[in-house]
Structure 1
Amino acid sequence: MSYILTLDVGTTSVKTCIFNEVFKLLGYSCSEYTLLTQGNNMVELDSEVYWETSKYGIKKAIEASSINAKDIGSITITSQGETLIPVDEFGKPLRNAIVWLDARAEEEAEFIRRGFSSKEIYETTGIPEISSACPVCKVLWIKDKEPEIYEKTYRFMLLEDLLIQKITGRFVTEKCLMSSTGYFDINQGVLWKKILSYAGINVDKFPEIMDCGKVVGKILPDVAENLCINSGLVVTTGAMDQAASAIGAGNIDIGVVTETTGTALVVAATVDVPDYSNTAMLNIMRHGIEGKFLILPYNQTSGIILKWFKDEFCWNEIEMCNLCGKSVYDCLDELAAGVSALSNGLLLLPHFAGMLTPEINPSVKGVFFGVGLDTKKPHFIRSILEGIAYMLKQNLDMLEDMGIEVKEIRSLGGGSKSGLWSQIKADVNNCNIQIMEQEESTSLGAAILGSMAMGIYNSFMEACMVVRVKKSFKPDNQITDAYSQGYEKYMKLYECLKSLF
């Protein structure tokens, strides 16, 4: 049997997984790193850290799996988008990686916005607004502020691209990962030369663009020797982490929607044709499946609000849980479960870092509305869970307004570990919330892409037959009516307050 190794390269860690051909997880490793933050909204990381951490993770996952490393047949990589690394002709990084969180290039973003209408940008790239996070702005920043680096740059690489080059020696990228760069035409699947020409950026400084889930080539002999793995191992393209996660949860066709409650709330819906007429201008990107697209409503703050509340106001619970070895989030769930639906009239507007959907409004702040002398800590905790469930419903309603049917909601991310939160989401949305058997859905999606590249499966439908639901939370008819009224109040709250932000 040939095994599939995957790398999920995130913001602060690399997760390495080893699956067999029926996608049973055999080995796992998670290795962390610390970002370099500076003034002027700069967020970087030594580019070699990604590679060194990946190599360490591969070795640890092999140890954990107890398999013969020579039996690993392929490696597939999925990564965050928008992190940019300029490299020379030998693949050597010329400076630190500019991480996706980096917002230094606002001047460059404003320059590009002056040259193109929002409509043209959106209908070409699927991005509702060019921001300083877009790689096109980061490339222009390097060109303007570090011209010696720009001149030496052979290729501007994204994170998955960098690691593929390290392993195979080839300079390639893939269409899904390119979708959030600002210089990729998601309709034609090619570089958007018009915007690059406007910015004075050489189109030859970008890698070859491949489809997702395709064979790139074999591992370099010295890399295979260093890792003590099969010298005939094949490396394949993956997909951006959001698309890989959708595939790993079986979100490969219309009707199945995934929601990821992590730091942010990200909803993903698969469509065959992108709809640029939606008034909310929702993010649209290439799926990891050729011929399909993902519509991605995105809200910047969800689970991080619960973490903020825990860190700022739950010191006693943290201390108690540290002493007894219990998860503090389980403790917060128990407190929230002790109060009834609607949190005694307390309502959260969960936009703590501005709003991207249903409209772009960076001035919006979070609001707890309806605080009284009888409001207790459990009410605040439950109102956070409810407020984010309302935000999810607002996103799903927007999808349905676009004609996208929502038959199933599959819940991913750290928030999916809370049974109470999943039940609240089911009650608010009056729809089943499904929790997946494989928690590492992003890595599983990468493994599915790898299996398709290797010809193990003939179709995504066949490969995704192994994707299984662990538990389904059904709406409680006695509570859905109450939450319907709560949602109406939630929708009115923003309309009443938005002129004050």
Structure 2
Amino acid sequence: MTSMTQTYFIGLDIGTTSTKAIVFTPSGAIRGTGNIDYQLLVPQPSWAEQEPETIFAAVIQALKQALEHAGIAKSEIGGIGFSTAMHSLIAVDPSGNPLTNSIIWADNRSVAQADRLKADGVGHQIYLATGTPIHPMSPLPKIMWLRENLPDTFRRAAKFISIKEYVIYRLFGEYIVDYSIASATGLFNLRKLDWDEEALRVAGISKQHLSEPVPTTHILRGMKIRYAEEIGIDPDTPFVVGASDGVLANLGIGAIDPGQVAITIGTSGAVRTVVPEPITDPKGRTFCYVLTENHWVIGGPSNNGGIMLRWFRDEFSWPEVEKAKQLGVDPYDVMIQAAEHVRAGADGLLFLPFLSGERAPYWNAQARGSFFGIGLHHKREHFIRAVLEGILFSVYSIGIALRDLAGGAKEIRASGGFARSREWRQIMSDMFGYEVLIPESHESSSFGAALLAMHALGAMDHLQDVKKMIHISHRHEPDLERSSVYLELFYIYERVYYNLLEEYKLIAEFQKRLNN
């Protein structure tokens, strides 16, 4: 068992816009941080890529930076845990050299392949087996796209791997993938905990093209000496393969028991809850990913989180922006203060926030945003409140799907940029009709990675022990009168969405022609 005396654990989170390394004390306090930003590459419309070597260099530098900031000795490092964004795909040659950039979750080039899988029915069967919704984010249609559009690259590829697998291969010289990242590929059978034969057939690849699946608690030792020296650690420092950022965020805020729902709203949004066995949705609304073999995370991502409020600020909220400049405060604070004076439901103004299409629960890339119910009595502050509520309506729709699958919530734990606003937190409590708890921010995915490393290395006996390390900074009880307003409006919100399905398709096709 790892000693808890003067032992620190590092959570390494390889994200979409940056890689963060955070050194945590055994009690969960932050001792040191490192953060390296990088660019998202958009070589063509609807494409989204990252350069693998840039990400690898960021991993080395973030770890080095965090350790220098922490000022601890090599011997005080108890272990390092990995967290990474899901759904990335890199084709590599027999020597491990990338044949493509890392094609990330936001890439939509494989829309046609995903649509074809949905249309012929095989996609739904693969979803039920793998837990990954059929969507261009998933590596399954991405591999199909490569096979059909870059056949020479496809033939030359020895492996199809994620960015985490690339980093681990560079550091340790072996191809392994944790069950969590594997379960987000659309290629991994949740019940067999191995690659799914039907998904492999559809992708046109074999098991040999993929890494060896291992538990999220799998321990790696023997890092290549040159990288260990560059970081400033002992080559035998234990690394725990870890999991995806989404499931680790649940662990990082203590939402790991059935009935505890984690809601994250940053640029995008997500709703997740932990169940003791894999559950997929007959209606295909939710994902199911692995945390450990006894902890399965079901939920759904929303494209449309805080980025909607930023869009409204940039395009329509210039009076609030100017006022904020004069007062020397954040424009969002001024916008939300204006919205506080508007009644729940924005006096009948609804915002469907599908400016980037939508993932869960609709999985409709052609959905588009709209304001509905506009009247002469509506002012700018009504629109601001409608945007705040519309973002939460999209999150609430995912919560409805989870309720159908796992039962009602007992507790909601929320995190992300939205949690800085008292009013926005209260709207969430009112809309969901439950108490909302806001844990103190620990960079939840990094913290989750460090916690899983503690557990894997024997420094924490049970994952439930994490709750002793998490402090709640705010609690909000629902106002039942406002809850009834939101319940009535959500019924209208969903009717508007479903009644516009054909129109979404027509306007999306029109917009696509304009951009060609």
Same fold by TM-score, threshold 0.5 exceeded?
yes
Summarize the Cα distance change of 1:344–1:163 in structure 2 as closer, same or farther, 3 Å threshold.
same
2:92 alignment partner, one of 80, 83, 87: 87
Distance 1:411 1:394 in 2: 16
Q: CA deviation at 1:160?
A: 1.5
AA aligned opposite 1:242? G
SS at match of 2:250: helix
Aligned to 2:265: 261
Provide Cα deviations, 1:56-75, integer angstroms capped at 9, x if missing partner. 22222223323335522322
Aligned to 2:12: 7
SS at match of 1:345: coil
Aligned to 2:512: none
Matches within 5 A, 1:120-269: 120-129=125-134, 131-269=135-273
AA aligned opposite 2:170? K
AA aligned opposite 1:206? L
Aligned to 1:48: 53
Summarize the Cα distance change of 1:374–1:270 in structure 2 as closer, same or farther, 3 Å threshold.
same
TM-score (norm 1): 0.92
Matched-pair contact (CA < 8 Å) for 2:261–2:409? yes
Summarize the Cα distance change of 1:79–1:422 in structure 2 as closer, same or farther, 3 Å threshold.
same
Aligned to 2:29: 24
Provide Cα deviations, 1:229-250, integer angstroms capped at 9, x if missing partner. 2333111111111101011111
Q: CA deviation at 1:497?
A: 4.2
Matches within 5 A, 1:477-496: 477-496=480-499
Provide Cα deviations, 1:38-87, integer angstroms capped at 9, x if missing partner. 22532222210101112222222223323335522322111111111223
Distance 1:200 1:397 in 2: 36
Deviates more, 1:205-214 or 1:313-322: 313-322
Provide Cα deviations, 1:68-111, integer angstroms capped at 9, x if missing partner. 35522322111111111223454332332222222223454456
Matched-pair contact (CA < 8 Å) for 2:286–2:360? no
Distance 1:71 1:144 in 2: 50
Summarize the Cα distance change of 1:145–1:347 in structure 2 as closer, same or farther, 3 Å threshold.
closer
Q: CA deviation at 1:112?
A: 4.9
SS at match of 1:297: strand
SS at match of 1:326: coil
Summarize the Cα distance change of 1:102–1:358 in structure 2 as closer, same or farther, 3 Å threshold.
closer
AA aligned opposite 1:490? Y
Summarize the Cα distance change of 1:384–1:106 in structure 2 as closer, same or farther, 3 Å threshold.
closer
Does residue 436 in structure 1 map to residue 443 in structure 2?
A: no
Deviates more, 1:346-355 or 1:328-337: 346-355
Q: CA deviation at 1:493?
A: 3.5
Q: CA deviation at 1:323?
A: 5.9
Matched-pair contact (CA < 8 Å) for 2:268–2:306? yes
Aligned to 2:352: 349
Distance 1:252 1:349 in 2: 31
Deviates more, 1:445-454 or 1:211-220: 211-220
Summarize the Cα distance change of 1:394–1:44 in structure 2 as closer, same or farther, 3 Å threshold.
closer
AA aligned opposite 1:442? S
Does residue 381 in structure 1 map to residue 405 in structure 2?
A: no
SS at match of 1:287: strand
SS at match of 2:382: helix
TM-score (norm 2): 0.90
The alignment yields a C-alpha RMSD, in angstroms, of 2.4
1:366 alignment partner, one of 356, 366, 369: 369
Distance 2:480 2:142 in 1: 50
Counting aligned pairs with the same residue, the percent is 29
* Structure 1 unaligned regions, length at least 5: none
* Structure 2 unaligned regions, length at least 5: 1-5, 505-516
Does residue 313 in structure 1 map to residue 353 in structure 2?
A: no
1:119 alignment partner, one of 124, 127, 131: 124
Does residue 416 in structure 1 map to residue 419 in structure 2?
A: yes
Count of residues in correspondence between the two structures: 499
Distance 1:166 1:67 in 2: 25
Q: CA deviation at 1:496?
A: 4.7
Summarize the Cα distance change of 1:43–1:334 in structure 2 as closer, same or farther, 3 Å threshold.
same
Aligned to 2:343: 340
